Amino acid sequence: MPATRLAALAVVVALVAPAGRAQDHPLSLQGLTPVGGRARLTDTGGTLGFTVANAGDTPRDARVVVEYDARPGARFARDIWVPPRAALSAWLPLGPAPPAGDAVEVRSLLYDRTDGTETLVLRPGEGEKIRARPVPFRARTPTTALIADEPYHSAAAAFVKLVRKAATLPEELTVPPDGPLPPTPEAFDGVDHVVVAGNRLAADPVGRWALRQWVARGGRLWVLLDLVDGGSVAPLLGDDRPVEVVDRVGLTRVRLGPPRQAAQHRDFDQPVEHVRVLPAVGDRVFAVANDWPAGFARNVGRGRVLVTTLGAAGWLPPPPPPPPPAGTKGLSRPGPPPGADAVQELAAELHPPNRPAPLPADALRPLLDDEVGYAVMGRGTAAVVLGGFLSVVAGIGVGLRRSRRPELVGWLAPVAAAGAAGVFVGHAELTRGSVPPTVAAVAVAEPVSGTDEVTLSGVLAVFQPDSGPVPLAAPRGGVLDLDAAGLEGQTRTRVVTDTDAWHVEGLDLPAGVRTGAFRATTRPGAVTAAVRFGPAGVEGRLTAPGLSAPADALVFSAQRQLLAARFAADGTFVTDDDLPPGQLLPGAVLSDRQQRRQAVYRQMLGGPLPAHLDGRDLLLTWADAAGVPFTGRDGSRAVGTVLLVTPLAFERTPPGTRVAVPAAFVPIRRPDLGRPTLDSSAPTEQLLRFQLPAAVLPLEVERAVLKLRVRAPGRRVAVRVGAETLFVADAPAEPVRVQIADPRHLRPDADGGLLLTVSITDPAPAPVPWKIEELGLDVVGRTAGGP
């Protein structure tokens, strides 16, 4: 993020205060109030806004320092440059606040650092004592920030409160004050949802960039498009998938509900604005109004952007009917108001219940063992040393026995033992001295679609062979939670020097390894994985600037099936056969590093995926990074390893090309009931539809292999096409492979589907459970057309 000393960091305004002040110092500090997405500090941190005034005739270098009264020693600072006779407004991110009531006590200090000196500037009447002041505090709760134009838009606020209520959240909102937003994504940490209901961001490109970064790291943004110009919201949606605005109309009759669901209409005296749009491919439309999208959502990085196109009045429920006259019998309880189902869909998108947690940083810590620490003596060297020690002891014993001086064994044997121990100690000292200071990182890296950005979340390790100060810094930004155990008594100051740059002063670390979880965003260039189906299966090319040596790669399909991927030196890759059950990397013998990587895969893919990854075809590969987001001592070795998670972008296979489509990319549905039944105790006969990928249609299918593994003791398993049986067996114990080569059975329907029937019948005398453990269809054919 480019920045200047003034424009990108703060707003400079004219100073009207007189030059002469108490203590005759030109600098003064004002403000220190929460800014960004929250009006209070929380136990997850916050951001304070402040203003430094310079009443003098020369520019001044100033430092603002803040610390919690209950947590001395952990300081947060901001360096700024203030022009003469001006005031500069800026911001300062703080770490988690200690538990408190409605307010937390903080101490603030202002230093004049002009000309290389550092002078503490005290407030008038403060004397030599630095007094604490209260700042509003509240423990972390789901928070929604509303960014609206002035005057305050009451209908938009009522709409947001309605959706929060539908999500079983309190109706309270946070409205950031007018003016530019802090130009850092950390200012929105602790906020769950940000709602844009106006064009305020159009005049604040730096704040808009920070908001986009916050979304890419996992935030949820809701745009009320009827109150926002399309041009100001486009940068938030991504450059690769624009939303086409058809027109803006006023509706006096609205029929609002989820797609493909009958909805009641509602009449309005005043027209309700509706922005009719054509969402991009991949957007999820969750509500329609008069057959046009009223709400849709898309993934942006790890976060999600929601867009509603119908004015707030169309979503808000009608006013309740007047009470019946006294003495009359009330009417029956009314049903849900029109549009209630659409509001519930919007609430579920804004604040989904039971959202899967991302991969925890602790899962990556074992991989740092390969990058930092001392080298351990090899088994061969240790065996030679121990063998030599035993040989010496044996020689001493034989020699002293012959010399008839056995009493010397009592001190010669310990001398030999001490010599062997000295070899081990000497080796350890040489090893420690040979390992340079190291800053290593292992992270999950995810590209942000349509940009050159990559979000990182992982673990950083700082290794130093001896104790001493470590000037830890983040030249391009990031958040680091370094383990502070054993560092009590130090006064450490995290100093922000630019929009995305900070360093730590006063950090002294003992010899050894110190770790901490981190988050960061880098801009190496666009990362893509372009693929298509070819004769060997899925073939593609990974473009990943700044990364090298991809290895131990997997393709994880939207159907949650795994394929191993082999990389060539030029960055191209091809998928192998399915992996055996329980194995996530190919090969009979895995190295220690591969076993640790497999453990990460198992934890990451074993449960529900985060929403931005669920239902997508992904390439997962380990790679070496050119650097790490943080720096340490001068001369430190930087080592970076990432698990790159990249969505696959399928290209259409050229006509006349022979292709092999793995079962992982052929989804299965029951035309009548949806998903197939995979386990039961009752007999079943299921008509299954295998959908061929759109990237190969139309396809002339030449052969197919049905892969079936089922546990069905005492039952008969059969496969047929129409009335013709292709396979039948009683309680098959081995995996079944049904070869299909008859052209009559390989004719896709108009939409590219193949139909097969699988039946499990003939129950045992007592109901016996059965389970389908594997079900898929590999397809080989040739794309239509061509020579």
**322-375 confidence digits (pLDDT tens):** 766 666 555 556 668 888 999 999 999 999 887 777 788 889 999 987 777 555
Residue-wise burial string across 571-586, b where 16 or more C-beta atoms lie within 10 A, e elsewhere? eebbbeebeeeeebbb
Architecture of the structural domain at 658-783: Sandwich (2.60)
Q: Which residues of 699-708 are buried (b: 16+ CB within 10 A; e: fewer)?
A: bbbeebebeb
The candidate with the shortest Cα–Cα distance to 408, out of 419, 416, 397, 417, is 397
Strand 303-308 vs strand 220-224: parallel, antiparallel, or unpaired? parallel
Q: Which amino acid is at 725?
A: T
Please tell me the least confidently modeled range out of 20-24, 286-290, 414-418. Answer: 20-24
Say if strands 144-148 and 193-197 run parallel, antiparallel, or are unpaired: parallel
Helices (H) and strands (E) in the chain, counts: 8, 43
pLDDT at position 607: 85
Q: What proportions of the chain, in percent to the nearest 5, are helix, strand and coil?
A: 20, 40, 40
Which residues on neighbouring strands pair with residue 529, listed in sequence order?
542, 648
Q: How many angstroms separate the CA atoms of 334 and 331, rounded?
A: 8
Within 10 angstroms of residue 640's Cβ, the number of other Cβ atoms is 23
At 4-49, the pLDDT tens digits run 333 333 434 333 333 334 356 899 999 889 988 888 899 888 999 9
CB burial readout 276-300, b (16+ within 10 A) else e: bbebeeebbbbbbbbebbbbbbbbb
Angle at 379 between CA 375 and CA 382, to 5 degrees: 90
Least confident of 13-17, 117-121, 434-438: 13-17
Higher-pLDDT residue of 589 and 650 is: 650
Task: Kindly state the helix (H) or strand (E) to which residue 418 belongs, with its residue range.
Answer: helix 409-434
Q: Does residue 577 have a pLDDT over 90? A: no
Strand pairing class (572-578; 770-783): unpaired
Q: Are 121 and 111 in contact (CB under 8 A)?
A: yes
What is the dihedral sign for C-alpha 555, 561, 562, 567?
negative
Q: What is the pLDDT at residue 62?
A: 96
Domain ranges of the chain: 11-136, 144-319+337-350, 390-434, 435-490+508-651, 658-783
pLDDT band at 384 (very low <50, low <70, confident <90, very high): low
What per-residue confidence (pLDDT) applies to 4?
A: 37
Mean per-residue pLDDT over the chain, rounded: 86
Helical (H) or strand (E) element with 601: helix 592-605
Q: How far apart are CA 352 and CA 163, in angstroms?
A: 12
Cβ 737 vs Cβ 705: under 8 Å: yes
On the question of pLDDT at 274 being above 60, the answer is yes
Q: For 183, phi and psi rounded to 5 degrees?
A: -85, 45
| Nearest to 743, CA basis, from 688, 781, 784, 696 | 781
Question: Average pLDDT for residues 295-318, to the nearest whole number?
Answer: 93
**Given CA atoms 694, 695, 701, 706 in this order, what sign does their dihedral have?**
negative
Please give the pLDDT value at position 3.
Answer: 40
Confidence (pLDDT) at 443: 96
pLDDT attached to residue 359: 87
Q: Tell me phi and psi for residue 206, to 5 degrees.
A: -70, -45
Task: Considering only residues 632 and 391, tell me which one the structure prediction assigns the higher pLDDT.
Answer: 632
Q: How far is Cα 249 from Cα 275, in angstroms, rounded to an integer?
A: 7
Q: Residue 764: its pLDDT value, please?
A: 62
Percent of the chain scoring above 90 in pLDDT = 58
The answer to whether residues 461 and 515 touch, using CB atoms and an 8 Å cutoff, is yes
Region 621-636 average pLDDT: 92
DSSP β-ladder status, 60-68 and 74-82: antiparallel
Q: Which residues neighbour 441 within 8 Å (Cβ) at sequence distance 6 or greater?
A: 456, 458, 459, 460, 461, 518, 625, 628, 629, 630, 639, 640, 641
Predicted local distance difference test score (pLDDT) of residue 428: 55
For residue 15, the model assigns a pLDDT of 37
- pLDDT value for 672: 78
**The token pair that represents 660 in the structure block:** 């092999």
Residue 432 to residues 260, 414, 423, 428, 507, Cα–Cα distance (Å) = 67, 26, 14, 6, 22
Give Cβ neighbours of residue 68 (< 8 Å, ≥ 6 apart): 74, 94, 97, 98, 104, 105, 106, 107
Angstrom distance (rounded) from CA 195 to CA 80: 31
Q: At residue 348, what is the residue type? A: A
Bridge partner residues of 764 (DSSP): none
Beta pairing partners, 341? none
Residue 235 and residue 208: Cα distance in Å, rounded?
8
Which residue is associated with the tokens 């200012």? 187
CATH class of 11-136: mainly beta
For residue 394, the SS3 value is helix
Q: Which of 363, 359, 441, 367 is nearest to 645 (CA)?
A: 359
Of 692, 716, 722, residue with least CA distance to 782: 692
Coil/strand/helix, residue 727: strand
Residue with tokens 């949650």: 560
Whether residue 469 is predicted with pLDDT greater than 60 in this model: the reply is yes
**Cβ pair 718, 758 in contact under 8 A:** yes
Q: Which of 714, 723, 722, 712 is nearest to 774 (CA)?
A: 712
Number of residues in the chain: 787
Tell me how far CA of residue 550 lies from CA of 57, 206, 621, 627, in angstroms.
Answer: 58, 35, 6, 15
Lowest-pLDDT choice from 80-84, 228-232, 516-520, 593-597: 228-232
pLDDT at position 402 is 60
Three-class SS string for 351-375?
CCCCCCCCCCHHHHHHHHHHCCCCC
- Name the nearest CA neighbour of 356 among 644, 169, 612, 597: 612
Amino acid sitting at position 223 = V
Residue 604 has pLDDT above 70, yes or no: yes
Let me know: does 445 contact 454? Beta carbons within 8 Å.
yes
Decide if pLDDT at 257 tops 70: yes
DSSP codes of every residue in 284-296: EEEEEETTEEEEE
Model confidence at 400: pLDDT above 60: no
Report in angstroms the alpha-carbon separations of 280 from 225, 244, 246, 289, 310: 15, 8, 13, 18, 18
pLDDT tens track for 706-750: 999 999 998 999 999 988 999 999 999 899 999 999 999 999 999
Check whether 445 has a pLDDT greater than 60.
yes
The predicted pLDDT at position 6 comes to 36
HEC profile of 295-321: EEEEEECCEEEEEECECHHHHCCCCCC
- Look up tokens 């591969």; give the residue: 594
pLDDT tens profile 38-76: 888 998 889 999 999 999 999 999 999 999 999 888 999
CA distance 135 to 108: 11
pLDDT at 434 over 60: no
| Mean pLDDT in residue range 304-330 | 82
Q: Which two tokens stand for residue 755?
A: 């139909």
Say how many Å lie between the first and final Cα of the chain, rounded: 51
Angstrom distance (rounded) from CA 454 to CA 475 = 16
Q: Are 456 and 448 in contact (CB under 8 A)?
A: no
Per-residue pLDDT reduced to its tens digit, 88-101: 999 999 999 998 88
Distance CA 347, CA 169 (A): 10
- CB atoms under 10 Å from CB of 501, counted, come to 17
Q: Which two tokens stand for residue 488?
A: 């009590």
Rounded mean pLDDT, 480-485: 92
| 306: pLDDT strictly greater than 80 | yes
Number of other residues whose CB lies within 10 A of the CB of residue 433? 11
CATH superfamily label, 144-319+337-350: Class I glutamine amidotransferase (GATase) domain (3.40.50.880)
Output the CA torsion 419→423→426→427 (10° steps): -170
pLDDT (average), residues 659-673: 93
